[in-house]
Structure 1
Amino acid sequence: MHRTAKKQNRILAVCLAGGFTTMLDNSVLNIAVPALRSSLEASATQIQWIVAGYSLAFGLALIPGGRLGDLRGRKQFFVAGIALFVVAGLFAAAATDPWLLVVLRLLQGAGAGLVNSQMIGTLQDVFTGPARTRALGLYQVTCAVAIALGPPLGGALIALAGPEWGWRLAFLISAPSGLATLVLAVRHLPRPAPRTTPAPGTAPGAARGLASLDPLGLLLTAAITVAVMLPFVTSAPLPAQLGLGAAAVAMAVLLARWQRHCVATGRQPLIHPALPRSAPYTLGTLTAMAQFGASLAGGLVLVMFLQDGLGLSPLAAAAVTLPSAVAMAVVSSFAWRAVQRFGAHLVPLGLTLALAAVLLSGLAALWTTGPWLPVLLGLGQLCTGAAAGLVVSPNQAQVLRYAPAEAAGVAGGILQMSQRIAAAVGISAISGIYLNSSAATPGTAYFQAALACTAVFALALLLSVLANRSTPDQPAPAPAPAPRPEVREGAVQGD
């Protein structure tokens, strides 16, 4: 028993290291973008692709990565993903052309997506029950710490090395942890043990080889992801947005029909049939989308308001937002215990706290001026971080509880991809409210953006309540056990 626990802790450490590496890179670079733009003389479009291309490639890699891990085992794809991430980062640090940097960021995003899809699947494979909630909570703590360290580290690198070398060092800063993660993954992740349990309605032994990956399903899913995210990550004109939206709807209908056809003909579908039929999984995923989109959009708008509206330096703005990451890390560390006591009520409680904190922060910006405003906004960030700690890992554990074991990677990939889409939509829409506001003062513009975030948090709260009411007594069915001998009527079955 002790050896099993020790092995599980090593696997958890590998997953936490992977999460830390990928999150640190993204949060460090965000604050180095102005220096990068000046150094490479990059256009606004190129900068947009450097920043948003990472998220687009990340989202595209999640479901295929999860599917590959489910069918072929997770270790080799984790190792390949982290290796791609590190190598692309090293080349990015030496880039002299903006478009080359765009390509390298796309490769980094694909590597990060491949790694993260294997992490969620691995945690589901190795842990169950409260231990799984604890593992997911520690994963969120690690990500919060990485996000918290990113802005001050990026600001310090720019200040010490100057604009030309500072952004290059920002790309290199995740290399040591990435290399350490690679070594740990090779040593401690379990050997590939692909699942062979067919989906319901699939004949045993069917759809082997390439067909088992459902290439048409993968292609349609990738196309839908691009069609949904592209208008928001590139600020496409309205006609293009409408065209891509219509294409996404048409492809979603085609994907649904194709998945039903796969089940009917005995093939393995990309999306396990139990997932779309599960109301708790669907509503919980929508809750995660609304919470994630509102949180990231609210954080970005706050940073813009602190620097453009209040004139704070990047380091001072990072100090105001730091309490959010610290509070999320602290609360996530014990939320897995609290969920055992309060159960499903913990997520609505956290969303209520987030809603109130964002609304009060907006009111503070509207009514308060002077040196006390950053302090009040920092207190608001403390509350929003605590709220995220109460929501993210408990909701994630609750959602993934209704994913069958043979679809663990795809279920986690869908959840993370949905959050990436929500982030792209939320950041584009809510930052647009702030930037395009006709308000006379930045404080009023920030209040309007905060109202939009409040509305999205209210939607998340409603969805979480509906998810709790729809929760059945039992989670999604596990693979069927072997047939038991028939017992004659009237016979007594022994223990």
Structure 2
Amino acid sequence: MLPGEDRTARRVLTVCLAAGVTTLLDQSVLTIAVPALRQSLSAGATDVQWLVSGYSLAFGLALVPGGSLGDARGRKGFFLAGLTLFVLCGLVAATGTRPETVVVARLLQGAGAGLVNSQVIGTIQDVFQGLDRARALGLYAVTAGVASAIGPALGGGLVALAGPDAGWRLCLLLSAPCGALTLWLAVRRLPPPRRVAAARGLDGWGLLCVAALTLSLMLPFISTPDGVGEAALWGGAVLVSAGALVAGQRRRARRGRVPLLPAALARSWPYAAGTVVAMAQFGASLAAVLTLTLFLQSGLGLSALATAAVTVPSAAAMGLASAVAWRVVRRIGARTVALGLAVGAVALLAGSVAAVTLPRGVLPYALASVQVAVGAAAGLAVAPNQARVLQHAPAESAGVAGAVLQMAQRVAAAVCLSAISGVYLRMSPTRPETAYATTSALCATLLLLALPLTRTPRPPEEHEEPRPTARPTRTADPHPTHPT
């Protein structure tokens, strides 16, 4: 059951869920078609890395300006504009004949998806309150996660049905009917545009610094540094862009202007810690799926359909785990997220060990078993963590709060996809099993590094805030019931 008793609110949520499915399925469905696309267009390793990471980069960078514009000028118009750009660029990408054309179209498509999703989070926070808001956000996170999980299986079926040359194009064409249906629903069901916050200047300098920092982290993996001098240059670029970002945020706050990350969010420990956890989980998950797909097809020689069969258990397990995640939250609280990260890390390490110890004949079956645990882990971690991060965001910053969270996830995805796929593509020509084991272990390490943030206590000042004398409402309930 959808949250809330208001039929209009439920119809709005249906549009938001459709947008999440459309934009996230589009990325994951292409994952399994990358080898076919690479062969069809004679794309090099650098093209592949831009294809898989560029979408996430543009997606992430469009979120914060999209959220700010939606807060200040109303969300519906930006939702429709972003979705239209997404559909049109999907058509260009699907009919491209050169890798560069597809890369540019995917960058623009990612920007459209970012503009759409910044309005989705803000709309949910506008329409729903209290427990219904937590349920709606959880349902959005689960729907998006399941869409990402079933994408590889759907892509494998399309490539098997139409063949490699037409199959990857069909994968990209999926955005057209899905996007058109979502556009029709949005025109009919989204509420009229209304402002929820005063107009405020966009922090262009902060956004530019985030883009520079992300590219500084990505590009060394896309184009391997030639010697110590070039590596030091990239390292310096990371430090300079990070320093410029911090300095710019402080200067903007001192001048009384709203920075990229509003002060209320920057001071919130649950928001900051949960965002880092989301970054690690999202980046590691996407990178793990990509390298698994490349390994099964390029390393073990499996067909796209057989590769899809290996990934199906992950989608099924994620759906089932998501269905019980909120019951687990009721019992063990925030430790549910920690449990999900730990299970995911152990599963990825198990896949790493299997790759270098098991015979090739049984390895696909072993990796399919590992995917059950990987999917279950994601189901336990994704929605509870997102609800924990966003449930206390102030209404006037709803779009920005959700946008910053998603931007952080997408920036992490862009860096992880370029870095981890770069490691795999450089090692795989001679040692595919070792390449997969290494990248799987790297993804597990990201999850383990994020694990302490799920249980670190809040700063003392948050515990010392005065408690209201009235009976608390259910808005602050840290353990919402199951979103469905």
TM range (shorter): 0.7 to 0.9
Deviation, 1:259, is 3.1
Is 1:266 the counterpart of 2:256? The answer is yes
Deviation, 1:114, is 0.9
Residue type at the aligned position of 1:17: A
Is 1:213 the counterpart of 2:214? The answer is no
Please give the secondary structure, in 2, of the residue aligned with 1:311. coil
Residue type at the aligned position of 1:57: A
Deviation, 1:74, is 1.6
Q: Give 1:43-442 correspondences, 5 Å limit.
A: 43-196=44-197, 212-232=201-221, 242-369=232-359, 371-436=361-426, 442=432
- Give the direction of change, closer, same or farther, for the CA distance of 1:178–1:45 in structure 2 (3 Å limit): same
Whole-angstrom distance in 2 between the partners of 1:409 and 1:50:
28
CA displacement, residues 158-189 of structure 1 (integer Å, 9 cap, x when unaligned): 33333333332222222111011111112212
Residue type at the aligned position of 2:312: L
- Give the direction of change, closer, same or farther, for the CA distance of 1:167–1:271 in structure 2 (3 Å limit): same
Please give the secondary structure, in 2, of the residue aligned with 1:212. coil
Q: Give 1:472-491 correspondences, 5 Å limit.
A: 472-473=462-463
- Give the direction of change, closer, same or farther, for the CA distance of 1:476–1:35 in structure 2 (3 Å limit): farther
Whole-angstrom distance in 1 between the partners of 2:105 and 2:427:
35
Q: Structure 2: which 5+ residue stretches go unaligned? A: 468-484
Q: TM-score, normalised by structure 2?
A: 0.85
Larger RCO: Structure 1 or Structure 2 (Cα < 8 Å, ≥ 6 residues apart)?
2
Deviation, 1:461, is 1.1
- Give the direction of change, closer, same or farther, for the CA distance of 1:102–1:458 in structure 2 (3 Å limit): closer
- Give the direction of change, closer, same or farther, for the CA distance of 1:303–1:468 in structure 2 (3 Å limit): farther
Alpha carbons 1:59, 1:416 under 8 Å: kept? yes
Task: Out of 26-35 and 394-403, give the one that drifted further.
Answer: 26-35
CA displacement, residues 411-436 of structure 1 (integer Å, 9 cap, x when unaligned): 22222222223223333444455455
Whole-angstrom distance in 2 between the partners of 1:260 and 1:101:
39
- Give the direction of change, closer, same or farther, for the CA distance of 1:177–1:438 in structure 2 (3 Å limit): closer
Residue type at the aligned position of 1:126: V
Alpha carbons 2:160, 2:304 under 8 Å: kept? no
Match of 1:460 among 450, 475, 484: 450
Deviation, 1:410, is 2.0
Please give the secondary structure, in 2, of the residue aligned with 1:213. coil
Q: CA RMSD in A?
A: 3.1
User: Which is higher, the Rg of structure 1 or of structure 2?
Assistant: 1
Deviation, 1:371, is 4.4
Whole-angstrom distance in 1 between the partners of 2:80 and 2:97:
28
Whole-angstrom distance in 2 between the partners of 1:458 and 1:100:
38
Deviation, 1:319, is 0.8
Task: Out of 133-142 and 14-23, give the one that drifted further.
Answer: 133-142
- Give the direction of change, closer, same or farther, for the CA distance of 1:467–1:178 in structure 2 (3 Å limit): farther
Residue type at the aligned position of 2:85: L
Residue type at the aligned position of 1:391: A
Deviation, 1:242, is 4.3
Whole-angstrom distance in 1 between the partners of 2:264 and 2:362:
52
Task: Out of 345-354 and 294-303, give the one that drifted further.
Answer: 294-303
Alpha carbons 2:355, 2:436 under 8 Å: kept? yes
Alpha carbons 2:218, 2:419 under 8 Å: kept? no
- Give the direction of change, closer, same or farther, for the CA distance of 1:431–1:467 in structure 2 (3 Å limit): farther
- Give the direction of change, closer, same or farther, for the CA distance of 1:65–1:443 in structure 2 (3 Å limit): same
Please give the secondary structure, in 1, of the residue aligned with 2:163. helix
Whole-angstrom distance in 1 between the partners of 2:464 and 2:130:
13
Deviation, 1:336, is 3.2
- Give the direction of change, closer, same or farther, for the CA distance of 1:243–1:117 in structure 2 (3 Å limit): farther
Task: Out of 212-221 and 324-333, give the one that drifted further.
Answer: 212-221
Alpha carbons 2:152, 2:311 under 8 Å: kept? no
Alpha carbons 1:133, 1:394 under 8 Å: kept? no
Alpha carbons 1:49, 1:234 under 8 Å: kept? no
Deviation, 1:233, is 5.0
Deviation, 1:348, is 0.9
Residue type at the aligned position of 1:214: D
CA displacement, residues 218-260 of structure 1 (integer Å, 9 cap, x when unaligned): 4444443443444445556565564344334333333333333
Please give the secondary structure, in 2, of the residue aligned with 1:269. coil
Please give the secondary structure, in 2, of the residue aligned with 1:374. helix
- Give the direction of change, closer, same or farther, for the CA distance of 1:190–1:420 in structure 2 (3 Å limit): same
Q: Structure 1: which 5+ residue stretches go unaligned? A: 198-207, 478-495
Whole-angstrom distance in 1 between the partners of 2:301 and 2:160:
18
Q: How many corresponding residue pairs?
A: 464
